Amino acid sequence: MVRRFRGEFHQKVDGKGRVSIPAQFRRVLEAGDPGRTEGGNPEFVVVYGDHRRSYLECYTIEAIGEVDEKISDMPRGSLERRMLERLFSGQSLSTNVDETGRLVLPAKLRAKIGLDAEAFFIATGDTFQIWKPETYEAEELSKTEAWLEDFPEDFDPLTLLDKGREG
């Protein structure tokens, strides 16, 4: 079974853009890098994407490989394939965890999401996202609250898992 990212964390960002990756996330990155040698630092991919993204999405090598395969299965030369290649290959950064468990975020990526002294990490299953904490609170928490408002008070989100099996 593939290890998944879980949890949310606030991490300090230093003046050079170095931020500690939560230890639990590092274990998943290690498990998701088939080319990593014992004791070596895992590689992963940070997708920063288009102008609408106000966060960075981090993929294990295995997870980005799945995305790449699906893109490669699309018709060569199609607009959709070209756009997805641009978003997931062109607007991304291959990087690795350094010896101290940190990620160095280039100034361009920090500026894109307005990151300064603190980063908010949140698990999204087979990826994790890095946000400016204030942006996450303003954009994503309100989306979740609005979504939940459409359901009754006693709603159990786990009931949605069975919808894929019905029909």
**What tokens were used for 119?**
């980063």
| pTM of the predicted structure, to 2 decimals | 0.90
Kindly write down the DSSP assignment for every residue of the chain, as one continuous string: ----B--EEEEEB-TT-EEEPPHHHHHHHHHT-TTPPTTPPPEEEEE--STT--SEEEEEHHHHHHHHHHHHTSPTT-HHHHHHHIIIIITEEEEE--TTSEEE--HHHHHHHT--SEEEEEE-BSEEEEE-HHHHHHHHHHHHHHHHHTS-TT--GGGGGGGGG--
Tens of pLDDT, residues 32-89: 999 998 889 999 999 998 888 999 999 999 999 999 999 999 999 999 999 999 999 9
Ranges of each domain in the chain: 8-133
Is 17's pLDDT higher than 60? Answer: yes
Please give the CATH superfamily to which domain 8-133 belongs: Transcriptional regulator MraZ domain (3.40.1550.20)
